Amino acid sequence: MRFDVITLFPELFEPFFKSGITRRAFESKQVDVQLWNPRDFAEGNYRRVDDRPFGGGPGMVMMAEPLWQCLQAIRADRAEPGDARAPVVLFSPIGQRLDHASATGWAASSGAVLVCGRYEGIDQRFIDTCVDRQISLGDFVLSGGEIAALALLDSVARLMPGVLSDEGSHQQDSFNPALDGLLDSPHHTRPEVWQGPQGPMAVPEVLLGGHHERIARYRREQSLALTERQRPDLLVQAREAGRLTKADEAFLRQPKKL
């Protein structure tokens, strides 16, 4: 798959492609990322890409023409037929929130053109005529779309075959259908007893016994309890979809320790 990123700050992406376990996806070109700076397509000596908003107001707005010319160059480089053009995605606070389901969808796609806005935003005329989808990370505003683009690329890269050391790792992620959309259970590692700031803290005994069924049930119950406490909306969705077992419901009815 191929993602073309339109950004005024391509240097923000380079370290990301060379760091961490997901670099495997980028080095192997399983996730091929091409960076495009709209300033390269702007006119004049100063290569200006922004101007003051009509009607007044604070800040500057990215102009439509450099973005359009940049997009045209991407289309030519991708050499796609008209009916198979990659969608243009703008990262925006008004967009649909990025979640596990949409990340999985992008991981199974052929890619997209990702537009990273800056300043007060970009000319609405470019959005109206060129953007197919808008994506948000949540109900807050960032200085630009680069962090959101990196989040999308990372969520896609880790789903590629061979990227994670253990092929089953992402199956146990929070929100994954393998966990019925619930939150992942807590994890523990060595030492068995940690001398923490509040005194000795031991790993739950059930995790040390080697009884796989008991461990699986313990982790399921921990997942249920954590989801009930932190994201009850996910528990409601799982219940409505019929993904909770009788044993799950019996556990949830039990009084919990505060």
In which domain, by residue range, is 186 found? 174-253
Catalytic residue check, 158: yes
> Among the options 87, 93, 221, 239, which is catalytic?
93
> Among the options 65, 80, 120, 228, which is catalytic?
120
> Among the options 4, 66, 123, 158, which is catalytic?
158
Pick the last residue of a domain from 125, 157, 189: 157
Residues 144 and 179 in one domain: no
pLDDT, position 166: 54
Catalytic residue check, 173: yes
Catalytic residue check, 93: yes
How many distinct structural domains can be found in the chain?
2
pTM reported for the whole predicted model: 0.87
Would you say 151 and 137 are in contact if contact means Cβ atoms under 8 Å apart?
A: yes
Whether 80 is in a domain gets the answer yes
> Among the options 65, 80, 154, 173, which is catalytic?
173
pLDDT, position 80: 86
User: Looking at the predicted structure, is the pLDDT value of residue 167 above 90?
Assistant: no
Query: What is the DSSP track for 186-201?
Result: P---S-SEEEETTEEE
| Residue-wise pLDDT tens digits, 86-102 | 999 999 999 999 999 99
pLDDT, position 83: 78
Residues 198 and 83 in one domain: no
- Tell me which residue has tokens 């790993």: 203
Whether 167 is in a domain gets the answer no
Catalytic residue check, 87: no
Read off the CATH number of the domain in which 246 is found. Answer: 1.10.1270.20
pLDDT, position 170: 47
Residues 183 and 119 in one domain: no
Would you say 107 and 159 are in contact if contact means Cβ atoms under 8 Å apart?
A: yes
